[in-house]
Structure 1
Amino acid sequence: MTEWREFDDDVASAPSSADIAALTSLAADLEALDYTVDGVGALLGAQAYAALGRGQLAPALLESRRILEGARVGAGASAGAGAGGHSAVPVLLWLLGETVAGKDLAAAFPRIGVAGLERLRLIECETHAPASNAGTIQETEGAAPSPQAATPTDDAAQRWRAAVELRPYGSDVGGNLWVASDLGSEQRPGPLRHDHVLGIGGASLTLAQTVMRSPVDRALDLGTGCGIQAFHLLSHARHVTATDISDRALAFARFNLLLNAPALDLDPRRLTERVSLRRGSLLEPVAGERFDLVVSNPPFVITPRTDSQNEAYTYRDGGLAGDAIVETLVRELPGVLTPGGVAQLLGNWEITEGTPWDRRIRSFVPAGVDAWIIQREQLSPVQYAETWLRDAAEHRDRGAYLDSFGDYLADFALRSVEGIGFGWVWLRRPLDARNLVRVTLEEITHEIEQPVGPHLAAAVRRNDWLAAHTEQAASGIGIADEFLLVADDVTEERHQRPGAEHPGVILLRQGAGLRRTTLLSTELAGFASACDGDLTAGQIAGALAMLLERPDAAFTSELLVDVEQLIREGFLIPAP
């Protein structure tokens, strides 16, 4: 078994979580400032807040400066009046990358104080730096953020800038939370450091919304980063093991867990009772262990291999050629699952020239494992290179950008890659080797309902229900004796040419979940219209056979196969 130890290091370039009392004081100040998703939205106003979500900081910056100036002159009664009118201070500091005067910090954070914020390594001194230059000073990568050589004694001249981002997060599991991560290129211009710890990004939110949240005993968050998936897992798992290859990431995760301990139902002095933080690559830190649920937003980005390992970004680049990181996880994750255990992860996979999109990713799935893989997006090599070079702010240096772009295209050409897929992978270890195994791959690129996790869980239950009836079909039972209903969110559309006696196209549409649309034959439309729970599937099929003068057994059998697909996709559901 691989040796591991509980991670509790104090990493100099990450926030400090050593002082529990200081974290409690910080949380109290943040609450008093209403530094929450709703609070920031109300402070900035709808338009500025929406612009901030798009990465446009200017409207929020102008409004925050106006509010803070009003507080200084005693005119902030209407906006930002809570907490002495200094509610704009954390927004300016941690969301917008502005420098803030020490006297404003002291007024906004009376419990933790400026010195406490500095001890927690959330701020750093910027002597005599004008606010308009916030974020232009770069520290040496890997070194601890440190104050300038001399801290001025004049509070009016002393200014502070964010050492990290501290962002409010509106969680459906813990209410108002705060998440610390590294500053992005919007707040601190320039390329990201290569051990950058990503905050709440689109991929992490996607995974959180996708996970099926059934109660489990032990869960694994593989590649925890700042710990966002662990937050969610704690709502339905007795114990969470969170791993990462980066010491900095684990330090951020520990800080975030302890800062939000009350909301996450954690005892900060006995964190290991519910959370284990471990350093290591992929499954090495949990060798020999088994989990009921594994979630992972792994470093799946396909990046050209270079001679210098320092050129990789640990939060996104797995260090393996092509899509090998996703292949490795899909092949090996079932080995750490308990019988009936589930793994859910995000990933990229390569699509080679002239082959279907699903051929390669299908080949990763080991025998005897249930799998459901949904491709949500497909990019060309050019689009892919553009996306990830911009992600790390590498497009700012024209020469380096062209070199990196060429490396991407050459790397994909080496393997004849014509597309890169992105999507969700669900894997399950069957309870018993005798269980029927199902592998489903599909492409769903349209907008869906979020969070989609409950709908995915319902789909799995329907598939299990169908699998049980498939096993019974040999004895002549199957779904024929079951009562079915049309799902509540399903509507029917009929299209026909003007003057036509019958519709030429009949569609069923889902208004919720995966929002599928399916084309119906006339007989299948007739079947669906009769699914009100009064007749069994077999009785409805028999009545249609008589009506259409198709009394042969083949008609009924083929119709019920199509009905099973409608159940599988959620258009029809078993009656309670």
Structure 2
Amino acid sequence: MTDFAAIPDAPRSDNPALLHALAADLAALDYTVDGVARLLGAEASEALSRDQWVPASLVLRGSHEPLATVAKLWLLAEDVTGEALARALPGVGLDALAALGLVEPAETAAAGGPALLRAAVDLRPYGWPGDTPDGATPDGAGTPGRADTNLWVASDLGAHQRPGVLRHDHVLGIGQASLTLAQATIRRPVARALDLGTGCGIQLFHLLQHAATVVATDISARALAFTRFNLMLNAPALGLAPKDFDPATKDARVSLRLGSLLDPVAGECFDLVVSNPPFVITPRHRGEQSADQFTYRDGGLAGDAIVENLVRGLPAVLAPGGTAQMLGNWEVGQDDAGGPLGWDARPRQWVPDGVQAWFIQREQLSPGSYAETWLQDASQGRDREAYALAYGDYLRDFASRNVAGIGFGYILLRKPEPAAQAGMPASNFSTDTRCEEILYPIEQPAGPHLAATLDREAWIDARADIWDERLDVAGDVTEERHQKPGAEHPGVILLRQGAGLRRTTLLSTELAGFVSASDGGLTVRQLIGALAALLERDDADFADVLYGRVCNLLRDGFLLPAE
């Protein structure tokens, strides 16, 4: 089995001593998230997190201190002198840096001037505050804020660092999608976890904080080489010894496997699967083969088929009670009049029977906006004619499937647990498919809030009903009433969450009355009975409809079980 320690055109990880020396040099420099933030200042740091390098370059212009030299080299991809770099990293040395595949001679140097070196990869600090599984919050290099876990992540240089279209087997670094998934993942201790499509290993780093063993897969050998390098470089911080990801070691903590989608783990089961798959919907351009597309983002299948295949297939590798979390795109169709259909129409069709699914749409783009986003992503707009042809290919591809828009968001799948004993339900949670659209900013990390919603659902489903339960209003919830001047009663009553997913819901008069009286003193049955008497509604429909709406408020966290 390949150990990915020496793959062409990727950093080498076959010399632990050199990596240990490099890590020691970087730590001594304070080449960390916080150290870089202090060096650059808030404004330049925030710009760098958006891949805007000019402010940082202006701040570091003329600076020759060791930390500035390393930041110029690996964050800004600026040439540096060998003398300055040797002074910054004295323990590892220039020859070792070249042998590891981290630096290379610059293409040009001033006549009579010192020899210059340039970055062969992007190598940047990464970290998150706190060590608790439920509170792990990722933070990228250059983002102000205290980081308690400090790592370094190698990846390919981005288009903003090195001119030209990206190579097709480009290994993406710390991108916004990676951070989004890391923040959305539920962090609870598990025995076995799978990082499907690991890239440079971002999700893997987080999984190692709360999973006993982790399998990481990718279709790209270069990506797995970057992942292995990053594991070796950060082994002490991640609590790993070399044997923990040696393929010859039985029961190693980390297993790196080459292959497409679920092929490398066929027949295995996991308690948690996370995936930031190549979900971008990309048409085949004229004469293009799947090998010509970008492996980090393009799945090589038509439309949103790669996301559909994963939603359909992931439950097969989930252990009973297991959870899968991923990001994805889905196509939104249009009706005969050219208007968009419901965004959730396609995702609902993908969910296998007996599996709980939760889709949260965070964004929806038109076909044209989608094309612009991803053509710009790989710097494909530099050639005007090629850009126009590619843009046209996108529009024709979407038109061929009658696509009106493209959605993006979170996908969460859960597999039921078997009955604990004869006569018990097959699961303590619903297997309904839930789809909701949340287009506004939510509190991060989102993982704890997603977990809390699932816990409330399980609390409800574990009971025959909640008629005799006492409820209270969550502490972050506020109520708004709107009415026309002079009106006797409000025309609109809204309930808002100030934290978590920050939902807003519209209340009927009777539901508003229920919420106002929910202070833990009376049961659901007592409150609904009192409202029925007050409003002179003794019909069963009134009680049943209000009860269902109360359950929804409880599930979404507006109401909580009283302590």
Superposition pairs of residues 404-423 of structure 1, within 5 angstroms: 404-423=390-409
Alpha-carbon distance between aligned partners in 1 of 2:438 and 2:156, rounded to the nearest angstrom: 33
Question: Quick one: which amino acid aligns to residue 122 of structure 2?
Answer: E
Does residue 168 (structure 1) correspond to residue 148 (structure 2)? The answer is no
Matches within 5 A, 1:456-467: 456-467=450-461
Secondary structure of the residue aligned to 1:427 is: strand
Alignment partners' CA distance in 1, 2:535 and 2:123: 66
Alignment of 1:239-258 (within 5 A): 239-258=213-232
Aligned to 1:376: 362
Contact kept, 8 Å, 1:224 with 1:242, in 2: the verdict is: yes
Q: Which is further off, 307-316 or 373-382?
A: 307-316
**Contact 1:127–1:157 (8 Å) recurs in 2:** no
Aligned equivalents of 1:20, 1:416: Cα separation in 2: 54
Q: Which residue of 105, 112, 121 corresponds with 2:101?
A: 121
| Other structure's SS at 1:178 match | strand
1:508-564 residue CA offsets vs partner (Å, 9 max, x unmatched): 100111100011111111111111111111111112222222233332222111101
- For 1:58 and 1:328, how far apart are their aligned partners in 2? 41
1:190 match: 164
Match of 1:65 in 2: 61
Map of 2:73 onto structure 1: 93
Give the letter for the 1:222 counterpart. Answer: L
2:553 corresponds in structure 1 to 566
| Superposition map of 1:156-555 within 5 A | 157-172=114-129, 173=131, 175-272=149-246, 273-306=252-285, 307-354=288-335, 355-432=341-418, 434-435=426-427, 436-469=430-463, 472=464, 478-555=465-542
Matched residues in 2 for 1:359 and 1:50: separation?
A: 38
Letter paired with 2:531: L
Once the 2 structures are TM-superposed, how far is the Cα of residue 171 of structure 1 from its aligned partner?
A: 2.3
Alignment partner, residue 148 of structure 1 = none
Distance 2:397 2:484 in 1: 51
AA partner of residue 83 (structure 2): K
Residue 149 of structure 1 is matched in structure 2 by: none
> Percent of pairs identical after alignment?
63
Change (3 A) 1:270 1:236: closer
Following superposition, the deviation at residue 343 of structure 1 comes to: 0.6
Calculate the TM-score normalised by the size of structure 2. Answer: 0.91
Aligned to 2:12: 16
Query: Larger deviation: 298-307 or 201-210?
Result: 298-307
Contact 1:373 1:425 in 2 (8 A): yes
Q: 5+ unaligned residues in a row in structure 2: which ranges?
A: 132-147, 247-251, 336-340, 420-425
Equivalences, count: 526
User: Separation in 2 of the partners of 1:203 and 1:220?
Assistant: 18
**Conserved in 1, the CA contact under 8 Å of 2:5 and 2:13?**
no
Does the residue aligned with 2:412 lie in a helix, a strand or coil? Answer: strand
Which whole-Å CA distance do the structure 2 matches of 1:48 and 1:331 have between them?
44
1:209: Cα distance to partner? 0.6
Cα displacement string for residues 63-105 of structure 1 (whole angstroms, at most 9, x for unaligned residues): 212322xxxxxxxxxxxxxxxx311011100111100001100
CA contact (8 A) 1:128 1:157 kept: no
Matched, 1:44 2:45: no
Name the counterpart of 1:74.
Answer: none
SS at match of 2:316: helix
Q: Which amino acid aligns with 1:452?
A: A
Q: What is the alpha-carbon root mean square deviation over aligned residues?
A: 1.6
Taking structure 1 as the reference length, what is the TM-score of the superposition?
0.89
Q: Is the 8 A contact 2:321 2:415 kept in 1?
A: yes
The 1-side partners of 2:107 and 2:176 are apart by 35
CA distance in 1, matches of 2:73, 2:187: 35
Task: Please state how far the C-alpha of 1:6 moved relative to its aligned partner.
Answer: 4.9
User: Which piece of structure 1 moves more, 533-542 or 221-230?
Assistant: 533-542
2: distance between equivalents of 1:6 and 1:239? Answer: 19
Between the aligned partners of 1:417 and 1:7, the Cα distance in structure 2 is 43
